[in-house]
Chains A and B, each alone.
Chain A
Amino acid sequence: MSVLAELSGNLGAVGYGLAAIGPGIGVGIVFAAYIQATARQPESAGLTRTYLFVGFALSEALALIGFVVPFLFGT
């Protein structure tokens, strides 16, 4: 059987691409909500900034795990 097409490389890169979709959307929502809250109630900017960074850190955690896994289980 003749080879028509060949693909080489690490599947980890594809894995990270997939892992970045969800956190990308999530981080976007977090910051969108912060901007909206600040626009509606400018005085609350300092109050909600803490929650902004907590939410940002939590949703970004998945992307970071996705980044590390190919290194851990790569050949």
Chain B
Amino acid sequence: MVLCWGVTAVILAVMLGAVRRPQLVPGRLQWVGESAYSFVRDGIAREVIGHEGLRFAPYLTTLFLFILGNNLLGIIPLVQIAPTAKIAIPMFLAIISWVMFNYVGIKRHGFVKYFKGILFMPGVPKPMYLLVTPIEVFSTLIVRPFTLAVRLFANMFAGHLLLLVFTLGAAYLLTVGNFSVVFTPVSFGMAIVMTFFELLVEVLQAYVFVILTSTYIAGALEEEH
């Protein structure tokens, strides 16, 4: 929890520092801030949602930086557990995204038309609704936020366990007191390799969370579901 506030403070400081004195030729900090924003705006919001996506770019950027910052704590020495490895934070982020895409959809189409689009998707033969409607309701309203939360949580948690297994394995092999001491460097080297692998996973999970959120928003905005 303290870590979470710390990360938020760091992100805030970096981004405020980036826009404090905007210049035509960006300095180093400004370049970092602007490229982070333009990555999410052009690479995710505009690409997935389309022209309307620009409205959601600030939210998506905030989400991306928050998740990325929190995930990166998973490999920073002396911390090495991401706040997102506790289910509460991914769950809350998923609830925000869930409320958001439903709200956007209801605002665009109206309550009845939006849920009609979910319940009875057009272009399906009438008898098939018996089968399709429960699946659609389950997948849109329950599975979406659930998987969004659990995907982030599970990846961070499993990564933490993986690092722990190899680090503790190295410590155990050192103290076990027979010839298997020779395997200690293998286990410790694996822990270091896994740390870099975790870096990849952490960036990827932040990206996937944001791109799925924008995909759901795009789905809610579409005329025909």
- CB pair B143–A61 under 8 Å, yes or no, is yes
A-binding segment of B6-14, B192-200, B210-218: B210-218
Q: Mark B158-200, 1 if CB is under 8 A from A, else 0.
A: 1000000000000000000000000000000000000000000
- CB pair B154–A57 under 8 Å, yes or no, is no
- CB pair A64–B151 under 8 Å, yes or no, is yes
Residues of A within 8 A of B212 (CB): 53, 57
Give the size of the chain A interface in residues (CB under 8 angstroms): 13
Q: Could you say which of A53, A58, A64, A68 contacts B139, with CB atoms under 8 Å apart?
A: A58
Q: Mark A14-53, 1 if CB is under 8 A from B, else 0.
A: 0000000000000000000000000000000010011001
- CB pair B208–A53 under 8 Å, yes or no, is yes
Residues of A within 8 A of B47 (CB): 46, 49
Q: Is the interface of B mostly helix, strand, loop or mixed?
A: helix
Which residues of B25-43 have CB atoms within 8 Å of chain A's CB atoms?
A: none
Residue of A nearest to B144 (CB): A57
- CB pair B215–A54 under 8 Å, yes or no, is yes
Q: Mark A47-75, 1 if CB is under 8 A from B, else 0.
A: 00110011001101100110110000000
- CB pair B218–A50 under 8 Å, yes or no, is yes
Q: Could you say which of B48, B143, B146 contacts A49, with CB atoms under 8 Å apart?
A: B48
- CB pair A53–B154 under 8 Å, yes or no, is no
**For the complex, what is the distance from the CA of A28 to the CA of B173, rounded to whole Å?**
36
Q: A57-B147, A61-B143, A64-B147 are in contact. Are A50 and B154 (CB under 8 A)?
A: no
- CB pair B147–A50 under 8 Å, yes or no, is no
**For the complex, what is the distance from the CA of A58 to the CA of B154, rounded to whole Å?**
16
Which residues of B134-164 have CB atoms within 8 Å of chain A's CB atoms?
A: 139, 143-144, 146-147, 150-151, 154, 158
Residue of B nearest to A45 (CB): B47
The chain A residues found within 8 Å of chain B, CB to CB, are: 46, 49-50, 53-54, 57-58, 60-61, 64-65, 67-68
The chain B residues found within 8 Å of chain A, CB to CB, are: 47-48, 139, 143-144, 146-147, 150-151, 154, 158, 208, 211-212, 215, 218-219
- Known pairs A58-B143, A64-B146 / 17 extra A-B pairs, C-beta < 8 Å: A46-B47, A49-B48, A50-B218, A53-B211, A53-B215, A54-B215, A54-B219, A57-B212, A57-B215, A60-B147, A61-B146, A61-B147, A65-B150, A67-B150, A67-B154, A68-B150, A68-B154
